[in-house]
Amino acid sequence: EKGTYPHYMLKEIDEQPLVMRKIIQKYQDVNGQLNVDTEIVNAVNEADRIYIVACGTSYHAGLVGKQFIEKWAEIPVEVHVASEFSYNMPLLSEKPLFIFISQSGETADSRAVLVQVKELGHKALTITNVPGSTLSREADYTLLLHAGPEIAVASTKAYTAQIAVLAILAAVIAEANGKALSFDLMQELGIIANAMETLCDQKEEMDTIAREYLSTTRNCFFIGRTLDYYVGLEGALKLKEISYIQAEGFAGGELKHGTIALIEHGTPVIALATQEHINLSIRGNVKEVVARGANPCIISMKGLEEEGDRFVLPKVNEDLTPLISVIPLQLIAYYAALHRSCDVDKPRNLAKSVTVE
């Protein structure tokens, strides 16, 4: 039930801090240690390469998850869009492990790949919000998101839950291999839950940004580098889905190879700057688009902020910024859709789960 909320999407955005705390509780043992089924840890550890397969928002979460697994656990990861993978399977490594990420666990494109790889005799882990769903039943292992039912077509809390569970999985694998993280992940996730709450309390500001940048525009760009780029892809998808604004996420450095031709006077460019090591470069990219007339909306992070930034996120661990930088983008998409009188929870042409290939 959506209770006093006007839309499920807004309710589900607001639930993210609670979901974070639930995940912390579910994936921690009585001694406060990370707790993931040993069978799963062993299966991941035995793999020489991990293939993440997913669609839409779940694919975007997979891109972030790849960074955790490669950086912390030092296992190579490929991330694939399910509908492409099934018709164009890459050469597989000797001992692959497949991770299917799916909120619903019912997405036909992902299931088609699962059937294919099972036939080849490979092991699969499903990360899903729905216990007993098809992808969960047909895989060897399941990790649950514990996000509670997600009703709005635009996925929000499932995305942050997927990222948190992928982080936990990566941290457990790293630990099992004697490469313990330099920080306490569960403590950081707790800090993130609080930061999420702060952001959810800043709805008016997001409403203002949406009104200012997006109420009449035809298009919008999201730029970032590394993790910020992946979150930009997700921000663009949210905006497209529910406000019907043509939106694209781009890697900041790639703009000059063609896309910058689309920047006109007043084109909104939402830039994420949450990573210290690429702060200079992304700010350089912002200058490039501004020089072509863009209307920039820079979302940075405490400690990296500069004059003129439109919004500053609370400081969290740099590896984990997607968990909070996505929240303003979700809210901006929500308010942009409202300002344009779109049906937020049931956007045109879309269904909550896509059960046809």
Instruction: Using CB under 6 A, list all residues that contact ligand M6R.
Output: 55-58, 102-104, 107, 110, 153-155, 237, 241, 353-354
Task: In whole angstroms, give the CA distance from residue 93 to residue 34.
Answer: 29
CB closest to ligand M6R, residue no:
56
Positive or negative, the CA dihedral 192, 190, 173, 182 is positive
352 noted as active-site residue: yes
Q: How many CA atoms lie within 13 A of 139 on its CB side?
A: 31
Residue type, 6: P
As separate numbers, helices (DSSP H) first and strands (DSSP E) second, the chain gives 13, 10
Nearest to ligand M6R of 57, 300 (CB atom) = 57
Judged by phi (left if over 0) then psi (alpha if -120 to 50, else beta), residue 309 lies in beta
State the nearest-atom distance from the C-beta of 220 to ligand M6R, in Å: 16
Distances (CA, A) of 222 to 11, 163, 234, 239: 24, 20, 9, 10
State the nearest-atom distance from the C-beta of 331 to ligand M6R, in Å: 14
Nearest to ligand M6R of 22, 60 (CB atom) = 60
Nearest to ligand M6R of 292, 352 (CB atom) = 352
Nearest to ligand M6R of 199, 239 (CB atom) = 239
Tokens standing for 116? Answer: 């294919």
Q: Is 124 helix (H, G, I), strand (E, B) or coil?
A: strand
- Annotated active-site residue in 2, 203, 240, 352: 352
Task: Kindly state the DSSP code that residue 321 receives in the 8-state scheme.
Answer: T
State the nearest-atom distance from the C-beta of 174 to ligand M6R, in Å: 26
State the nearest-atom distance from the C-beta of 130 to ligand M6R, in Å: 8
* Residues that are catalytic: 352
